Structure 1
Amino acid sequence: MPKLHQIAERHWQRPYPLLSFLLKPFSWLFGRVAAKRRGNFLAGRLKSERLPVPVVVVGNIHAGGVGKTPVVSALVSGLQARGLRAGIVSRGYGRKGGGVCVLTAQTAADEAGDEPLLLFRQTGAPTAVGSRRAEAGRALLAAFPDLDVIVADDGLQHYALRRDVEIAVFPAADTGRRDLDLLPNGGLREPLARLGSVDAVVVSGGRELADAAFRPAENMFYSRVEVGEIYRLQNRAEKLDSGRLNGLRVAAVAGIAKPERFFETLKNMGIPLAQTVSLPDHVAVSAADFPAADVVVVTEKDAVKFSDGTGLENVWVLPVCAIIEPDLADFVIGRLNITARKT
């Protein structure tokens, strides 16, 4: 029997008329509350803290699963490539405990959250998590006072932290839709009009669809995901030879917002999947969730939940990265009017 969140997500993609009729008033109310919060921020009635370094927020107006984390990773890496010292703050969704955590090499996923830990490992950038992102930013600057810029992973609607640049990630698959609605009738946190107030929109997953629905603008960027070589969880240097999978039972496990994308990617790579396992986003994956198989392939987001891979000799990881065009890091540097130290 489908779970409630599965029913909701199916409704957001292909609305059920009766359910839309019942939920529409609640979406209207949600929109009024969201508009009031943003209005209070713009009018200065909502307390908002400015950090001593520029803050770039990368978020979305969807409830999730838009390809934001790879965009944050690519942006931070781009800033680093230009000699800027960039830090990351995040809420740390799904972690255990409260307060602020400044990540170290020993930090586990249940302390930081899977996405912040993934970003920390991918970029090496100083990273802190906390439900109050301004507090996380202060802690990060106390530990790393030489930071030039902080990138906030998510938090477009977290107005308690002032931002100098707002970037919204929007899925290409939704660019032509006319039935998008606010929660709970749809998957939007804010109306589409919100995209007109951000500094940049990054359309993820297909430029052709975006160009057909959006008029190209100066602040429009396009993100596509590129996959790397599948590596062994216990030894990143060891790559999977897909040509030797014949006769082996291969399974794929994913605890992400859109697991079907992961499975489809593996199939397109020629990986023969005997079984797929979809788990809730941010779930605490354990070896018990893995099916009996000679080879189990997982996402990098799920891989960070295992500290050293002990006892998981058959687990392999698919790495991905975002390619953003035009260059988003150059755009951010220009907006902030700061000087790159090298090119």
Structure 2
Amino acid sequence: MQGALLRSWTRRGPLAWALWPVSLVFRTLVALRRQLYQRGWLHSQRVDAMVIVVGNVVAGGAGKTPTVISLVLHLQAQGLQVGVISRGYGRSSQECLEVLPGALPQDVGDEPLLVQRTTGAPVFVARTRHAAATALLARHPKTQILVCDDGLQHYAFYRDLEVCVFDDRGTGNGFVLPAGPLREPWPRTQVASVGQADNRLLMLHTGSHPAFAGYTAQRRLAPYAVRRDGSTVPWSALQTADAKPLLALAGIAQPESFFAMLRAGGLTLAHTLALPDHYDFDSLPRSIHEGYQLICTEKDAMKLWQHVPDALAIPLVQTMDAAFFTALDDAVATHLTPKLSSPHGHTTS
């Protein structure tokens, strides 16, 4: 059923049209909620930092977390103090927690753990973005910029900049859920999002064939694998005569894209195993992978390493257009300059 639904989202076929009346209800509810915020009947909560929300309007993964990592690393390179907030999708705990090295993914979520491991930035997870932001700023008061992983439609949290990520699916068949993949009608009738300061929206395409105008990012796999202890293994060592056959697995939105990138890079895969997004690996039978070298995405490794310590993670490297970072830097400068000139503003030292 899930596969049939995903396929129906690529075109306006019989299933999409059958679900279209239901999608009108969803579309109406989305519009009503936006109106409540736009008219001031519901209010967006602010914090004392610039907020950049990275999200998408298409259900399923489009490259949000790699984009968050790229943004954080870029802003850190500019000397800025950056923190990351998230709900921590799929975690069992409901507490507001700081994501520290050695944290368990079931407590904080696999993606926040990956962001912290990759960037070293302070990362907090909570049931609401505002709660996570408040806790992070209390613990790290010099933080100037908060990057929110997901939450484009979470209007209760005020944002100064939105980054909307698309992949090769574009907007699919153009219908909203469940007749199509859209979480909100697109393009927006108003460019400004609810609870947004200055109408700033950056559209980023991570696929090979952008469906419409926007900035682009190129994605490739790193030419090495990463062990649990952080050491690396070149791909050539995975294909020697005495190396174990490779079993690639992925618990992401589009597993086949990961397998295709591995094969395109020259790896011979004995088997592949596509798993549900955010799969917990608790029920992965050992008999499936005995005798194989497991390779997986970095996100999956955050959980898989608890069960298979010798699994190898293949990092995804995302390279943005220079023009994207120019637009990002302009937005950051516009927001931070007044604070930096204020006697009570943050500094970058």
In 2, Cα distance between equivalents of 1:86 and 1:234 = 26
Contact 2:116 2:123 in 1 (8 A): yes
Aligned counterpart for 1:97 among listed residues 74, 81, 93: 93
Relative contact order, higher structure (CA 8 A, sep 6+)? 1
- TM-score with structure 1 setting the length: 0.88
Aligned to 2:292: 294
CA contact (8 A) 2:221 2:262 kept: no
Aligned length: 326
Q: CA deviation at 1:277?
A: 0.6
| CA positional deviation for 1:246 | 7.2
Deviation at 1:243, TM superposition (A): 3.8
Structure 2 CA distance for partners of 1:158 and 1:169, relative to 1, 3 Å? same
Partners of 1:171 and 1:103 in 2: how far apart? Answer: 28
Q: In structure 2, do the counterparts of structure 1 residues 243 and 140 end up closer, same or farther at CA, with 3 Å as the change threshold?
A: same
Counterparts in 2 of 1:316 and 1:274: CA distance versus 1, 3 Å? same
Give the unaligned 5+ runs of structure 2. Answer: 193-199, 341-346
- Give the fraction of aligned pairs with identical amino acids, expressed as a percent: 35
Of stretches 197-206 and 281-290 in structure 1, the one that deviates more from structure 2 is: 281-290
Q: Does 1:75 align with 2:71?
A: yes
SS of 1:150's equivalent in the other structure is strand
Superposed CA deviations along residues 54-80 of structure 1, whole A, max 9, x for unmatched, are: 111111101121111111110111000
**In the alignment, which residue of structure 1 is the partner of 2:132?**
136
Q: Secondary structure at the match of 1:47?
A: coil
Structure 1 pair 276–221 and aligned structure 2 pair: CA distance change class (3 A): same
Whether 1:11 aligns to 2:5 is no
Whether the aligned pair in 2 keeps the contact of 1:234 and 1:310 (CA below 8 Å) is no
How far, CA to CA, are the matches of 2:308 and 2:148 in structure 1? 35
TM-score by length of 2: 0.86
Provide the residue aligned with 1:29 in structure 2. 25
5 Å-filtered alignment, 1:181-220, equals 181-194=175-188, 196-197=191-192, 199-206=201-208, 209-210=209-210, 213-214=211-212, 216=213, 220=214
Letter in 2 for 1:11: S
Alignment of 1:207-246 (within 5 A): 209-210=209-210, 213-214=211-212, 216=213, 220-240=214-234, 241-244=237-240
Residue in structure 1 matching 2:110, options 104, 108, 114: 114
CA distance in 2, matches of 1:292, 1:232: 20
Q: Is the 8 A contact 1:76 1:151 kept in 2?
A: yes
Corresponding residue SS for 2:319? strand
Alpha-carbon shift at residue 106 of structure 1 (Å): 2.5
Letter in 2 for 1:334: D
- For structure 1, the 5+ residue unaligned runs are none
- Asked if 2 retains the 8 angstrom alpha-carbon contact of 1:251 and 1:276, the reply is yes
1:79-119 deviation line (CA, Å, top 9, x unaligned): 00000011001111100021311111131111111111111
Q: Paired residue for 2:55?
A: 59
